Structure 1
Amino acid sequence: MQALVVVAHGSHLNPDSSTPTYRHADTVRETGVFDEVATAFWKEEPSFREVLRTLNSEEVYVVPLFISEGYFTEQVIPRELRLAEFDVDQWDSDGTSASSTTLRATDVDKTVHYCGPAGTHDAMTDVIVRRAESVTGDDEVGEGFGLAVVGHGTERNENSAKAIRYHADRIRESGRFDEVHDLYMDEEPEVDDVSDHFDTDDVVVVPLFIADGYHTQEDIPEDMGLTDDYRTGWDTPTEVDGVNIWYAGAVGTEPLMADVLLERARDAGAAVGTAVEEVREQTRAGAD
Structure 2
Amino acid sequence: MQALVVAAHGSHLNPDASDPTYAHADTVRETGAFDEVREAFWKEEPHFREVVRTLESDEVFVVPLFISEGYFTEQVIPRELRLEDWGPEKWDSDGTSASQATLEAEDVGKTIHYCGPVGTHDAMTDVIVQRAETATADPDVGEVAGSKDPEARRSISDGGFGLAVVGHGTERNENSAKAIEYHTERIREQGRFDEVKALFMDEEPEVDDVTDYFETEDVVVVPLFIADGYHTQEDIPEDMGLTEDYRLGWDVPAEVDGHRIWYTGAVGTEDLMADVLLERAADAGADIGDARETVRELAGSDAEPSAERVRGTDA
TM-score of the pair, normalised by structure 2: 0.90
- Alignment match of 1:246 (pick from 246, 262, 272): 262
Amino acid at match of 1:108: V
| Cα distance, 1:106 vs structure 2 | 4.0
Amino acid at match of 1:175: G
Structure 1: give runs of 5+ residues left out of the alignment.
none
Amino acid at match of 1:121: H
| Cα distance, 1:283 vs structure 2 | 1.4
Amino acid at match of 1:271: D
Q: Is 2:18 aligned against 1:18?
A: yes
- Alignment match of 1:214 (pick from 218, 230, 251): 230
**2:121 match:** 121
- Alignment match of 1:169 (pick from 185, 189, 193): 185
Q: Is 2:52 aligned against 1:83?
A: no
**2:165 match:** 149
Q: Is 2:299 aligned against 1:283?
A: yes
Cα-to-partner distance string for 1:137-193 (whole Å, 9 max, x where unaligned): 000001410000000000010000000000000000110100000000000000000
SS state of the match for residue 180, structure 1?
strand
**1:181 match:** 197
SS state of the match for residue 114, structure 2?
strand
- Alignment match of 2:276 (pick from 253, 256, 260): 260
CA distance in 2, matches of 1:261, 1:212: 19
CA distance in 1, matches of 2:43, 2:119: 19
| Cα distance, 1:129 vs structure 2 | 0.1
Amino acid at match of 1:5: V
Cα-to-partner distance string for 1:173-228 (whole Å, 9 max, x where unaligned): 11010000000000000000000000000000000000000000000000000000
Q: How many residues are treated as equivalent by the alignment?
A: 285
Contact 1:82 1:106 in 2 (8 A): no
CA distance in 1, matches of 2:20, 2:208: 26
Alignment of 1:190-229 (within 5 A): 190-229=206-245
| Cα distance, 1:69 vs structure 2 | 0.2
| Cα distance, 1:107 vs structure 2 | 2.3
Contact 1:82 1:107 in 2 (8 A): no
Cα-to-partner distance string for 1:74-129 (whole Å, 9 max, x where unaligned): 00000000001001111000000000010012421100000000000000000000
Cα-to-partner distance string for 1:242-268 (whole Å, 9 max, x where unaligned): 000000000000000000000000000
**1:105 match:** 105
Amino acid at match of 2:251: D
Amino acid at match of 1:113: H
Give the RMSD, CA atoms, in angstroms: 0.7
**2:4 match:** 4
Report the identity percentage.
Answer: 79
**1:64 match:** 64
